[in-house]
Chain A
Amino acid sequence: MNTMSSTTINQVQAPEEKVMPVTEKKPEDTVLEEGVTVGTPFADDPKFKLRDVEVFYGESRAIKKISLDIARNEVIAFIGPSGCGKSTFLRCLNRMNDSIDICRVKGGLLLDGQDIYDPKRDVVELRARVGMVFQKPNPFPKSIYDNVAYGPRIHGLANRKSELDDIVESSLRKAGLWNEVKDRLDAMATGMSGGQQQRLCIARTIAVSPEVVLMDEPCSALDPIATAKVEELIAELSESFTIVIVTHSMQQAARVSNRTAYFHLGHLVEVNETSKVFTTPEHELTESYISGRFG
């Protein structure tokens, strides 16, 4: 029995003794090559075609040659540590960066094949097509009804009061808010709860029938219930809109998006199917970030 009894409990070594090679380098110090993104950054017939995009704030370069396609009706999540450029990149998509004097955008940014940064382009029309929801709910100090009706009015989307009523109702329904507010449409929007205000802002955004909705950390100021409602909404909206969402919550990205893009110090490191990113990411940095090893 010598052969068999040679294996005992002591021979299975505890993990402390199995040391991986000691590396001085931290994952966040990895040197990244400009313009190189692993995974699947490109799509056929994309809604947005973005090539070698660079964004400068004065002298400093916040976005370093990022190329990415955003497909029609997809939900894509942008994740990354603070200051990695994900919000800056998001704001290029409807020229929200125009309001910052020192900000310059270079590279090819096409929406349905047309240059977003064409000087002749009507920015108001662009933002009607590419709507935005911000981190903090920012309803106008007006009634619930007027908040939603504001966009359709200025864009002349309704000729009659009844048409406007229809738009308001359908937008509030899509935002999952109708049943909660239908009896008090004249009440001030600022009196609503945070979660309701955020859903109102979403209703306001979709009232002008945009093609794309950009969301910059839409749930960071919301409680878990309100967050769940907004996430439900994202799933429903994705049937008719393209959605780009910046989020600090990894679980949120995993729950709501089809693809996830990982940004790091102005680079786009990896873009992949969300299911892949959260189970078997391709890039070491993505893995380190999503599993809480730095960030």
Chain B
Amino acid sequence: MVPNKDDVYGDHISNRFNDELLALKTRFLKMGGLVEAQIDSALQSLIESNGELAEEIRSKDKLVDRMEMDIDEEAMLIIARRQPTARDLRLVISVIRMVADLERVGDEAKKIARFAIKLAEEGQAPQGYAEVRNIGAHVMGMIHDSLDAFARLDSEQALRVMKEDKRVDEEYQSAARALLTFMMEDTRNISHCMSVMWVLRALERVGDHACNIAENVIFMVKGEDVRHTPMEETERIVGS
């Protein structure tokens, strides 16, 4: 890969340091892309009752795990070799944190795939799938935007992702109520609805991970840790 001198991580005196930081960034984004695709396929397998696709997701999760370990090792080597400071240090630390979030998103995809197989085997009417589709699209957008914010170092976009999380939580609550109604209407729906509930829960967690990634992007760009910080305060930091 040719390091770009105009990239904020590509203008060190040491070209090898430039290469290492840019490689770390690129690998992280690749892993992000893979994880996005995993969630996408998991939802597809559920809605289309495609057991084959669901199996594929479960085997691809091993690749996600491998990437997590590789990126962690790369980050560790950069710390050992280069003793990064300032924005370089914040990049490395954030990647170490965010990679754990991505791996967890991958796990959620695997979980959804597992329920896809189960639901396909049971072969019941697709109750609650509209909610899954809705929340699924929402959290997919959040993951995508958080990764995009990382690539662009765009703290404002990261802030928008954080704000979306509240809406996902609301959507999740309302979907849960809808499923509860189905279950009360006919107790034979309970098993099916519980599975869908778990899928929704997994999607809600994906939104949380997107939110964590966004927090780390703000840390990288602004140098302030906005975890466990009220939204108004985060807005002030991003606006400063």
Interchain CB contact under 8 A, A295 and B147: no
Interchain CB contact under 8 A, B22 and A15: yes
- Would you list which residues of chain B between 1 and 30 have a CB under 8 Å from chain A? 1-2, 4, 6-9, 11-14, 17, 22, 25-26, 29-30
Q: Residue-by-residue, is A255-268 near B (CB-CB < 8 Å gives 1, otherwise 0)?
A: 00000000000000
Interchain CB contact under 8 A, B6 and A15: no
Name the one of B82, B86, B137 contacting A278, with C-beta atoms under 8 angstroms.
Answer: B86
Interchain CB contact under 8 A, A250 and B85: yes
Prevailing SS type, chain B contact patch: helix
Judged by a CB distance under 8 angstroms, whether A57 is at the interface is: no
Report A290 CB to chain B, min CB distance, Å. 5
Name the one of A3, A8, A22, A293 contacting B137, with C-beta atoms under 8 angstroms.
Answer: A3
Among A127-135, A164-172, A177-185, A279-287, the stretch that binds chain B is A279-287
Interchain CB contact under 8 A, B13 and A295: yes
Interchain CB contact under 8 A, A20 and B85: no
- Bound form: Cα–Cα A290–B44 in Å: 48
Prevailing SS type, chain A contact patch: loop
Total contacting residues, chain B, CB less than 8 A? 49
- Bound form: Cα–Cα A16–B4 in Å: 6
- Bound form: Cα–Cα A30–B185 in Å: 72
- Bound form: Cα–Cα A4–B142 in Å: 12
- Bound form: Cα–Cα A254–B82 in Å: 14
Interchain CB contact under 8 A, B40 and A291: no
- Bound form: Cα–Cα A19–B6 in Å: 6
Name the one of A8, A19, A21, A281 contacting B86, with C-beta atoms under 8 angstroms.
Answer: A281
Interchain CB contact under 8 A, A4 and B33: no
> Which residues on the A side are within 8 Å of B147 (C-beta)?
12
Q: Residue-by-residue, is A73-109 near B (CB-CB < 8 Å gives 1, otherwise 0)?
A: 0000000000000000000000000000000000000
Interchain CB contact under 8 A, A12 and B85: no
Interchain CB contact under 8 A, A14 and B29: yes
Name the one of A8, A18, A19, A294 contacting B40, with C-beta atoms under 8 angstroms.
Answer: A8
Interchain CB contact under 8 A, B83 and A7: no
Judged by a CB distance under 8 angstroms, whether A162 is at the interface is: no
> Which residues on the A side are within 8 Å of B7 (C-beta)?
15-16, 18-20
Interchain CB contact under 8 A, A1 and B37: no
> Which residues on the A side are within 8 Å of B25 (C-beta)?
15
- Bound form: Cα–Cα A254–B144 in Å: 37
Interface contacts (Cβ under 8 Å), in number, total: 112
Interchain CB contact under 8 A, B6 and A291: no
> Which residues on the A side are within 8 Å of B152 (C-beta)?
18
Among B87-95, B163-171, B186-194, the stretch that binds chain A is B87-95
Judged by a CB distance under 8 angstroms, whether A13 is at the interface is: yes
Judged by a CB distance under 8 angstroms, whether B36 is at the interface is: yes
> Which residues on the B side are within 8 Å of A159 (C-beta)?
none
Interchain CB contact under 8 A, A4 and B44: yes
Interchain CB contact under 8 A, A291 and B144: no
> Which residues on the A side are within 8 Å of B43 (C-beta)?
1, 4
- Bound form: Cα–Cα A20–B23 in Å: 17
In the complex with contacts A1-B43, A9-B37, A22-B22 CB distance below 8 A? no
Judged by a CB distance under 8 angstroms, whether B84 is at the interface is: yes
- Closest A residue to B34 using CB positions: A9
Q: Residue-by-residue, is B81-122 near A (CB-CB < 8 Å gives 1, otherwise 0)?
A: 011111111100000000000000000000000000000000
Q: Which 8 A-B pairs have the closest CB atoms?
A: A280-B223, A9-B33, A12-B33, A3-B137, A287-B86, A290-B85, A278-B85, A291-B86
Give 8 CB contacts A-B under 8 Å. Answer: A4-B43, A12-B144, A16-B7, A18-B7, A18-B153, A279-B90, A291-B84, A293-B13
Additional A-B contacts beyond A11-B144, A16-B2, A293-B13 (6; CB < 8 A): A4-B43, A4-B44, A4-B137, A10-B33, A15-B9, A20-B6
